[in-house]
C-alpha cells in the first residue's frame, strides 16, 4: 500500500477561481483519495468468438484488388452449422453467471471465473493451461474509501460525495468509485471547472485570467482519454482532479427523456465511471513484455509512460451539481 501523504492548500479570498455556479469562488473543496495499489495475480484466458455476417451479394462485400475467395464463402454449409450450433439461451445463461458478482482483476471471484471457463473448455475437448502473471494492479482502500468533501470556511464538512453513492444491487462486494493508479494522497483547495479537461480548455481559462496552478480541477468525461485529462491537469499545475459524467452526455434529457436507470439504461445521478488513468498499455512495470517471473521490472518511479502524478477521483453528476 502506498504511504498516505496529506497536502493542504488553503484558497485565499482574492484567489481567482472559476466554476459553473456563481458564489462558489471562496468555497474550498477537499478531495480525499485513499487508494491502495498493490501487486496482484491476474489470470488471462484468450476466448475466441465467431462473427458471421449475413449472406450478401458480392457487390456488398467488394474490396478492390482482393481475391474473390476472401470475400465469399467457400462452403456456406459450414457457416450454417456454426450458426445452428449457437444457442441464445445458453449465451444468456453464461453471461448471467459471468456478470453475477463483481470480479475486479486479481480478485478471488476473478480467479473462480477463470477456473469455471477452464472447466467448460475442457468439457468441450480443449486443452487449457492457466498461466499466472505478476501484475501491478490498483485497488481502492477497503477501510478508507475515496471521497470528495465540500468544506465551509470553518473546515466543517457540508457535503460528502460518498454519502450519495447508490448500490442498485444487493451485492456487498461492489467496487466503490475509483480511478486505477491514482496516487494515494489527500489534497485540499479551491475548485476550478475546466470543461472536458483538454489543452484548449485550460488555454481558454488562461485567456480569461484563470490559472489552475495550485488548485483542484473538476472536468467532464468525454472527448479524450481520462488518463490524458489527469496528465494535462498536472501539466497545468493542478493539485488534484475530479471527473464526472455530464448529464448532457449520458442521459436522454436532450431528447426529452428524463428517466434514468433502473427505469431505463441512462446513467443515474449517482453513477460514476470507473477506469484506469494510466496512459500505457498492459502491466505498467513490464511494458511490452509478459509479466512473468523472468520479466525485468521497472520501479513505479521509473516507468514510461510515468504513473499519474496527481490524485484523481470519479463522481456522479448528482454530486457534481452539489459541488458546483
Q: Which CATH number does the domain housing residue 245 bear? A: 3.50.30.30
Tell me if 138 is assigned to some domain: no
Same domain? For 30 and 95 the reply is no
Same domain? For 249 and 306 the reply is yes
* Structural domain containing residue 240: 5-40+145-323
Higher pLDDT, 22 or 104: 104
Say yes or no to pLDDT of 234 above 60: yes
What integer pLDDT is reported at residue 154 of this predicted model?
87
89: which 3 cell numbers? 439461451
Say yes or no to pLDDT of 51 above 50: no
- H or E element: which one contains 275? strand 275-276
Picking from 73, 103, 130, the residue at the C-terminal end of a domain is 130
Say yes or no to pLDDT of 233 above 90: yes
Question: Comparing C-alpha atoms, which of 136, 177, 119, 125 is closest to residue 42?
Answer: 136
What integer pLDDT is reported at residue 25 of this predicted model?
33
Say yes or no to pLDDT of 55 above 50: no
Same domain? For 221 and 149 the reply is yes
Same domain? For 120 and 261 the reply is no
Q: Stretch 135-150: mean pLDDT, rounded?
A: 88
Tell me if 270 is assigned to some domain: yes
Same domain? For 63 and 23 the reply is no
Higher pLDDT, 40 or 97: 97
The least confident of 14-23, 101-110, 192-201, 309-318 is 14-23
What integer pLDDT is reported at residue 61 of this predicted model?
52
Apex 278 CA angle, 97 and 308, nearest 5: 135
Q: What is the pLDDT of residues 248-294, one digit of tens each?
A: 999 998 888 889 988 888 999 999 999 999 999 999 999 989 999 99
Say yes or no to pLDDT of 112 above 70: yes
What integer pLDDT is reported at residue 68 of this predicted model?
65
What integer pLDDT is reported at residue 175 of this predicted model?
86
Tell me if 54 is assigned to some domain: no
Same domain? For 235 and 86 the reply is no
| Full-model pTM | 0.73
The least confident of 25-29, 109-113, 172-176 is 25-29
Say yes or no to pLDDT of 132 above 60: yes
Please list the helix, strand and coil fractions of the chain in percent, rounded to the nearest 5, in that order.
25, 20, 55
Tell me if 281 is assigned to some domain: yes
Distance separating alpha carbons of residues 32 and 313, to the nearest angstrom: 9
Picking from 130, 165, 181, the residue at the C-terminal end of a domain is 130
Q: Stretch 289-312: mean pLDDT, rounded?
A: 92
Same domain? For 122 and 176 the reply is no
Q: Stretch 105-118: mean pLDDT, rounded?
A: 93
Q: Please state, for a pLDDT cut of 90, what percent of the chain lies above it.
A: 51
Higher pLDDT, 304 or 244: 244
Distance separating alpha carbons of residues 81 and 52, to the nearest angstrom: 11
Whole-number CA gyration radius for the chain: 24
Say yes or no to pLDDT of 12 above 70: no
Q: Stretch 66-75: mean pLDDT, rounded?
A: 68
Distance separating alpha carbons of residues 266 and 254, to the nearest angstrom: 12
Say yes or no to pLDDT of 155 above 90: no
Q: What is the pLDDT of residues 205-218, one digit of tens each?
A: 999 999 999 999 99
Same domain? For 89 and 237 the reply is no
Tell me if 316 is assigned to some domain: yes
Tell me if 140 is assigned to some domain: no
What integer pLDDT is reported at residue 13 of this predicted model?
31
475530479: which residue's cell?
Answer: 242
Tell me if 205 is assigned to some domain: yes
Picking from 102, 130, 158, the residue at the C-terminal end of a domain is 130
Same domain? For 29 and 109 the reply is no
* Domain count across the chain: 2
pLDDT confidence tier of residue 153, bands split at 50, 70 and 90: confident
Q: Please state, for a pLDDT cut of 70, what percent of the chain lies above it.
A: 76
Same domain? For 285 and 313 the reply is yes
Tell me if 237 is assigned to some domain: yes
Question: Comparing C-alpha atoms, which of 148, 187, 198, 145 is closest to residue 324?
Answer: 148
Same domain? For 115 and 256 the reply is no
Q: Report the mean per-residue pLDDT for the chain.
A: 79
Same domain? For 223 and 266 the reply is yes
Distance separating alpha carbons of residues 106 and 37, to the nearest angstrom: 12
Amino acid at each position: 500500500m502506498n504511504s498516505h501523504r496529506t497536502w493542504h492548500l488553503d484558497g485565499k479570498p482574492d484567489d481567482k477561481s472559476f466554476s459553473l455556479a456563481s458564489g462558489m469562488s471562496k468555497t474550498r473543496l477537499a478531495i480525499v483519495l485513499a487508494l491502495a495499489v498493490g501487486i496482484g495475480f491476474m489470470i488471462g484466458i484468450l476466448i475466441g468468438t465467431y462473427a458471421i455476417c449475413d449472406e450478401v451479394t458480392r457487390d456488398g462485400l467488394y474490396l478492390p484488388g482482393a481475391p474473390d475467395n476472401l470475400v465469399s464463402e467457400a462452403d456456406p454449409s459450414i457457416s450454417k452449422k456454426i450458426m445452428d450450433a449457437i444457442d441464445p439461451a445458453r449465451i444468456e445463461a453464461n453471461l448471467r453467471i459471468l456478470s453475477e458478482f463483481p470480479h475486479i482483476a486479481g480478485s478471488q471471484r476473478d480467479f473462480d471465473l477463470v477456473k469455471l471457463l477452464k472447466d467448460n473448455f475442457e468439457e468441450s475437448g480443449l486443452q487449457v493451461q492457466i498461466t499466472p502473471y505478476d501484475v501491478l494492479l490498483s485497488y481502492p482502500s477497503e477501510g478508507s474509501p475515496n471521497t470528495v468533501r465540500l468544506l465551509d470556511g470553518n473546515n466543517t464538512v457540508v457535503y460528502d460525495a460518498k454519502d450519495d453513492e447508490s448500490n442498485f444491487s444487493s451485492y456487498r462486494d461492489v467496487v466503490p468509485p475509483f480511478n486505477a493508479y491514482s496516487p494515494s494522497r489527500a489534497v485540499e483547495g479551491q475548485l476550478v471547472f475546466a470543461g472536458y479537461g483538454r489543452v484548449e480548455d485550460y488555454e481558454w481559462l488562461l485567456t480569461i485570467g484563470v490559472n489552475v496552478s495550485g488548485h483542484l480541477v473538476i472536468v467532464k468525461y468525454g472527448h479524450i482519454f481520462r488518463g490524458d485529462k489527469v496528465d494535462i491537469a498536472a501539466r497545468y499545475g493542478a493539485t488534484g482532479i475530479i471527473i464526472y459524467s455530464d448529464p448532457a452526455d449520458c442521459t436522454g434529457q436532450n431528447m426529452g427523456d428524463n428517466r434514468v436507470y433502473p427505469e431505463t439504461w441512462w446513467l443515474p445521478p449517482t453513477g460514476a465511471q470507473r477506469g484506469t488513468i494510466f496512459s500505457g498499455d498492459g502491466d505498467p512495470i513490464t511494458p511490452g513484455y509478459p509479466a512473468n517471473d523472468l520479466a525485468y521490472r521497472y520501479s513505479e518511479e521509473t516507468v514510461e509512460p510515468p504513473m499519474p502524478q496527481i490524485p484523481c477521483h470519479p463522481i456522479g453528476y448528482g454530486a457534481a451539481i452539489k459541488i458546483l
